[in-house]
Amino acid sequence: MTKKSLRALTIAAAALLPLTGTPAEAATAPKLLLNQDFPDPGVLAGLWGYYAFSTASPSGRVPMARTDGAESNWSVQGDALTGPPSWADPASQYWAPDVSRGPDGRYLMYFSTHTASTGQMCIGTATGDSPRGPFQPDSDAPLVCVGEDRSDIDPQSFMDIDGKRYLLYKSDTDPTTIWLQEVSLDGHALRGDRIPLLHADRPEEHGVVEAPSLVRSGSQYVLFFSGDYFTSTGYHTSYATARNITGPYTKSADSFLTTGTLGGAVDGPGGADVVGGHIFFHGWLSKEHHARGLYSLPIRFHGGKPEIG
């Protein structure tokens, strides 16, 4: 079962449950799953358990962690990426990977890294035979590398119920923008024109929206995203909703996860991914902001809107 299929099943079931409260009122405390640097988690779930992939850290280019259950015994098990693609700067780091299963049963990784030619951050692909990898870069050029964007990062794959596959990502245009791009079923080719979904247009975002994570709840699309600079305690997770995948998306009046709404239990909760009835996100592990650990909270939906608990 793919990451996106499990999301759809979980959300459909969760939508039937009664809900009360708001994120700020939620009694559930965030659970620290990995007490080490593991930022921008991309989580993949299936019958074999859970895998998570993160931005580069001392554990590797694309650190990979695994567990049998969403909230128990996570451990980092090495580097999922075999090496740099031919177009990348060999010294570059890798950001915000996303892994999903393709129609042929193999696994596709999206990642961001700097190009050797211009130094711009662009989105590339790699494939592997299993969710644990190893993933091998599979193209001589980036999949997304738009010059006027300045950088294209934070890719996320989404499979809709009509069988179409999409790629979401963030560009450093002014203002920063989250885009939707239809791709081929194997995820390796762009189809048609990209569509802007969200811009950074609120004071608390300080000019930054990023880390898209799209889910579907009933007939509604829920787009989670992060706002503000990731180095800041003000970094937070918000969401926007739409009736159509292409929008228009309406941002929630209030941020969903913030340092304040979580009672200071997590500093700068962002980079979220929603999988298997949980929202996974990172937060700073110390006041010095040297490393971001992996956290989770249970999540469910009511009327197409998310609630913690």
CATH of the domain at 269: 2.115.10.20
pLDDT of residue 28: 81
Q: Which parts of the chain have pLDDT scores under 70? A: 1-27
What's the pTM? 0.90
Total domains in the chain come to 1
* CA distances for 296 relative to 74, 143, 172, 247, angstroms: 12, 31, 28, 28
Residue range 8-64, pLDDT digits in tens: 433 333 333 333 334 444 458 999 999 999 999 999 998 889 999 999 999 999 999
Q: Which domain holds residue 48?
A: 3-308
Place of tokens 């069988």: 163
Q: Which residues pair with 46 in a beta bridge?
A: 49
Sign of CA dihedral 29, 21, 253, 240: positive
Cis peptide leading into residue 97 (ω within 30°) = no
Cis peptide leading into residue 142 (ω within 30°) = no
pLDDT of residue 27: 52
What is the C-alpha separation between 272 and 292, in angstroms, rounded? 12
What is the C-alpha separation between 277 and 295, in angstroms, rounded? 14
* CA distances for 45 relative to 7, 29, 233, 266, 276, angstroms: 9, 22, 29, 24, 7
Q: What is the dihedral of CA 237, 11, 109, 154, to 10 degrees?
A: -20
Yes or no: say if 192 and 184 are a contact pair by the CB < 8 Å rule.
Answer: no
pLDDT of residue 48: 86
